[in-house]
Each structure stands twice: as structure tokens, then as C-alpha cells.
Structure 1
Amino acid sequence: MTHGTYVDGVWTASHTRDRVDVINPATEERIGSISAGAAEDVDAAVPAAPSTTGRAAIPRTASGRSPGSRTTWSSARMN
């Protein structure tokens, strides 16, 4: 499939054949293109995206704290 969107772990047909160029910022050279997506593609992707309490694991650091808890802990220490 050359014109698709990746939604919930699966490549699906996009609702548009419009494309957007991908530009290498270092060389300003066009290196490819991606699907522009349509409102229907967004409507399918948003509910499929993991929520903050959903199935996505929150990365932890060597300290064992998540990024959010580090921010809360740091803020509390500064006040």
C-alpha cells in the first residue's frame, strides 16, 4: 500500500490520495512523501491512540521515577 495511514498498529487505506513532501532539514532535499490524511483518518486515529492511563507504558528512568513524578517531586523540592 503506497497511500495509507498507520492506525492502531495497522496500515489502512487513507481517505485521500493527497501527499505531503518530507524534507530533510539539514539539506532541504525532498526525501519522500507521506499521506496528507483527511478528517476521516484523524477520526479513526484519535480513539485508537493510547490515553495516559491506557495501554502505553510510561517510560521510567534509572531513578525509577516516571517523567511526571520527577516534575512533581522537583517542583515540591523547589517550593
Structure 2
Amino acid sequence: MMQIVMGESTAQVRPEILHILQLHVEEISRVLVQFEPQSPFWTSLRESGLSLEVLGWKFRFSVEADKLVLTDVQAVPAPVT
């Protein structure tokens, strides 16, 4: 599994949302390590990063050789109805 690095940018996010995020990211990291390091998939992922939305929050990760680093956290505006 890859190392997952999350910093102070998550301070405003409720703990239960962070728990769900952690579960999702851990599952994703278990799958990512199955890809060959030279795969075009990895090149694309390193260039574009990884974004996840969890219960009204968007989390953006940069992807390095052996870790996912949280780089941005934003609340997602509620849809206008």
C-alpha cells in the first residue's frame, strides 16, 4: 500500500467524513500498487493528480512514486435546484 499524507488542510472537515475519505484512499492505494510503474496510467496520474468527492467535500491528491499527498481541500457548493 502507498503512504497517504494528509495535513492541516483537513482541520475544517468533520471526522466522519475524514474517516470515509481514509477508507476510500486506502482502497485506491491498494489497487494502484498493482499497476506497473512504467505504465502510461502512472504517467497520467502523476501529471493530473487524483480527486475524490466525499459528502460535500473535494479532496485533491498529488501522486508520487510511493505516496498520495493531499494538496487541496474544498467544500463543494450544494447544487442549485
TM-score above 0.5: no
Normalized per residue, the structure richer in helix is 2
Normalized per residue, the structure richer in strand is 2
Greater RCO structure (CA 8 Å; 6+ sep): 2
TM-score by length of 2: 0.20
TM-score by length of 1: 0.20
